Amino acid sequence: MFSNKNKDLDVHLVEKNPFLGAGVRTFFYGGHPYTFGPRHFLTFNKEIYKFLNSYVPLRSCSEHQFLSYVEQDKNFYNYPLNYENIKNMPDKKKVYKELKNKSLSKIANAQNMEEYWINSVGKTLYSKVIDKYNKKMWMVNSNRKIDTFKWSPKGATLKKSNNKAAWSEAISCYPIKLNGYNDFFDNIKKLNTKTYLNSVVKKISITNKIFKINNKKIKFDIVISTISPHLLLDNKFGSLPFIGRDIFKIVIPKEHVFPKNVYFLYYPNDEKFTRLVEYKKFTKYKSKSSLIGMEIPSTNGMHYPVPFKKEIKKSHKYFKSFPDWYFTIGRAGTYRYEVDIDDCIEQALEVGKIINNGHYDGSLTNKKWWKLWRY
């Protein structure tokens, strides 16, 4: 993620996939471009936006709306919910009463996600839009098992304004080109970098700074890793669990399927899937058909670190065991769910700055490093 301005650096990039870009790579299905996610860019950091926009020209999608279908009400509401939505609920009086009686002290002292949200929005709203969705999302039978809960990607909560845009304050955008972010990653091959595709680091010797890549031993001075820390230390402290995703692609013989400006549909009910996305809302691909993506949580893949205190505590043991020359960044690398594209870029730029400026002297210790990106 940083340019190799220092020609003395011998940079090796190891990627397990046959391509660079991982979860933000654009693929095509029936001509339709799509990314898993899909990976639109969302940030409050203007400098990070400017950086990415200089490499990947971005278009604003600040108008985009998300809807949530509540089966028990037989109705769609905005996601995140806003106070205007409550007016259309059949049990609005009960909802208003519960919101009025919420306790700030109980919110502050909540021990798990169920307690936190019931005390924040009341039992009725919790039952409608949070309970079943989060059980599906994290593959648990009770939200009481989720004991870190004050996170919420980019501040999703009950909105007071009637602004229907999902992210009315953050910068929300998507690449203009149909191939998305691909050029950014493909241009890495033009840098003074050795790239290993279809490759994995099979063994690491921290003492000797030697890695084994494709049965070849290579010595390194600095390592920047974006994979889960347990993978390189042979589960020394135990495996760190992740939630994966199964993505099903459906082409519909209609130019547009969702209402205007609606990009996602969320389903907090008994369905196995969590949400649907109409990809062309992001990509602006022109066709007489539309590609819909259906997401189902699964154990396939390592997409989302689980927000359990015991697992986070376990990840800290790994971070503390790495030496100062080993930087672990990104969502998987920091074992932190709410780390998004903008955070990954910021972390990578910080490491690149340390290396390119020649200021790497161990002053930013590993302990300090992971604490910058932890709970």
Question: Does the pLDDT value for residue 212 go beyond 50?
Answer: yes
Domain edges within the chain = 11-25+181-231+316-372, 65-164
List 217's β-bridge partners, or say none. Answer: 212
Question: Does the pLDDT value for residue 76 go beyond 90?
Answer: yes
Higher-pLDDT residue of 5, 73: 73
Instruction: Compute the average pLDDT of residues 126-130.
Output: 94
The predicted-structure confidence for 284-322, as pLDDT tens digits, reads as follows 999 999 999 999 999 999 999 999 999 999 999 998 888
- Contacts (Cβ under 8 Å, ≥6 apart) of 250: 291, 292, 293, 294
Instruction: Compute the average pLDDT of residues 42-64.
Output: 93
Residue-level pLDDT at 242:
97
Selection from 297, 262, 246, 243 nearest residue 68 by Cα: 262
pLDDT-derived band at 351 (thresholds 50, 70, 90) equals confident
Question: Does the pLDDT value for residue 151 go beyond 80?
Answer: no
Question: Does the pLDDT value for residue 5 go beyond 60?
Answer: no
Question: Does the pLDDT value for residue 346 go beyond 70?
Answer: yes
Structure tokens at 301: 């893949």
Question: Does the pLDDT value for residue 153 go beyond 90?
Answer: no
Higher-pLDDT residue of 208, 276: 276
Instruction: Compute the average pLDDT of residues 149-175.
Output: 70
Higher-pLDDT residue of 85, 233: 85
Strands 210-213 and 58-60 come out as unpaired
330: alpha, beta or left, given left = phi > 0 and alpha = psi -120 to 50? Answer: left
Residue-level pLDDT at 368:
46
Cα gap 120→185, rounded to integer Å: 42
